[in-house]
Amino acid sequence: MEKKVLYSAVQPSGNLTIGNYTGAIRNWVKLQSEYECYYAIANMHAITVRQDPAELRRRTVELLALYIACGVSPEHCTLYVQSQVPQHAELTWVLNTMTYVGEMERMTQFKDKSAKHAENINMGLMDYPVLMAADILLYQTDIVPVGVDQRQHLEIARDIAARFNNRFGETFRLPEAYTLKEGAKIGSLQEPTKKMSKSDENPNASVYLSDDKDTVIRKFRRAVTDSDNRIVASEDKPGVTNLLNIYSAFAGCTVAEAEKQFEGKGYGDFKLAVGETVADVLAPVQAEQKRLLADKAYLNQVLKEGADRAYKTARKTLSKVYRKIGFYQGE
Ligand code: ATP
Ligand code: LTN
């Protein structure tokens, strides 16, 4: 039987955080044998906020090395850079004509990013969800593993696909979101009700996958908690709840088990245990990423093969779209 298709991507827009790891890449590894997987480096999405060119280029390769270091297999999955497959931009243009400005203005991420980058509210920022829909729809994707913050984008991708299918006949498969419960949303260490984000200006708010052990432990030591000393997850204790979530995601236990394990302990011991557990998971990934980055020829080869494979599938879908909408492709 044919495997179902899975698609996901991360933007090379900053240092990845442990939220990107538990909310995205770690799940990719779990799913790679069961599905036919496309994992992209979304550099076209990344430029919707200003990027330094040299850094963007460097982060692109670093992200590829990280995917592989986390256990994503280039033999089993298609790993590629979004801008190397031109159909992403081409399909976006077509889908733009069936997406309403009002819908885009209502997207949570657009509103958040517009507030954050008030000096640069560009068309690309508003078009972000349409480009993401194009990513997903080009590969006739069945499932998309993303963190909760991206669910709204997935909904709009389904709406756009359904709209196209209604008007022009069955063309796109409708994708489903896939979110694992643990680690689905890691909060900021400084403002735990906000998501931990790689573009947060406060470096103490996020734990980066590149942080060394001392840094990780220091950041957890400074994490915001509260004034009572009970280690339990509850709505009025967002800081402690976030740390319990992080611990459970990295120690491989449930939140209830974590609560039990730390019963009667103080915040100091608890934070240290969370920091050590996270750092121990990160150390081997960092070592492997470093080793891979020393072998650029290999990484370039992976990207070339990935782009070739992605291109073949993307071309088929785009050609079908062009036929349906009446774009002349020779007779
Ligand atoms: P930025 O801050 O630049 O917008 P980001 O940190 O939100 O970036 P993305 O590239 O937008 O990262 O997201 C990559 C993947 O990581 C997505 O699947 C997203 O759902 C997931 N993700 C990002 N942050 C978190 C988080 N705090 N908790 C869980 N998953 C997350
Ligand atoms: N916007 C996504 C990154 C992304 C993506 C995708 C995720 C770009 N294209 C397609 C899933 C499917 C994010 O995670 N911030």
- Which residues neighbour 210 within 8 Å (Cβ) at sequence distance 6 or greater? 15, 16, 286
* Angstrom distance (rounded) from CA 261 to CA 252: 13
Low pLDDT (below 70) residues in the chain? 181-184
User: Looking at this protein, which amino acid is placed at residue 320?
Assistant: K
Q: How far apart are CA 139 and CA 87, in angstroms?
A: 11
Please name the residues in contact with 140: beta carbons below 8 A apart, sequence gap of 6 or more.
5, 172, 173, 313, 317
Whether residue 213 lies in the annotated active site = no
Pocket test for ligand 1, best of 197, 208, 243 (most atoms within 8 A of CB): 197
Q: Which of 11, 28, 143, 186 to mutate to test the pocket of ligand 2 (most atoms within 8 A of CB)?
A: 11
* Best probe residue, ligand 1, of 17, 20, 201 (max atoms within 8 Å of C-beta): 20
pLDDT of residue 183: 61
Ligand closest to 8 (CA) is 2
Distance CA 162, CA 31 (A): 26
Could you tell me where the DSSP H helices lie in 179-235? Answer: 213-221
Q: Is 212 helix (H, G, I), strand (E, B) or coil?
A: coil
pLDDT of residue 182: 61
- Could you list the beta-strand ranges (E) of 88-169: 143-145
In short, whether 146's Cβ falls inside 6 Å of ligand 2 is: yes
Q: Which ligand is nearest to the CA of 21?
A: 1
Q: Can you tell me which atom of ligand 2 is nearest the CA of 131? A: 9
For the chain, what's the residue count? 331
Summarize pLDDT for 20-33 with one digit per residue, the tens.
998 889 989 999 99
- Taking every pair of Cα atoms in the chain, the longest distance, rounded to a whole number of angstroms, is 76
pLDDT of residue 228: 87
Query: 157 has which bridge partners?
Result: none
Q: Distance between CA 20 and CA 4 in Å, rounded?
A: 23
C-beta of 206 in contact with ligand 2 (< 6 A):
no
Q: Spell out which residues line ligand 1, taking CB within 6 angstroms.
A: 10-11, 13-14, 17, 19-20, 22-24, 146-147, 149-150, 184-186, 195-199
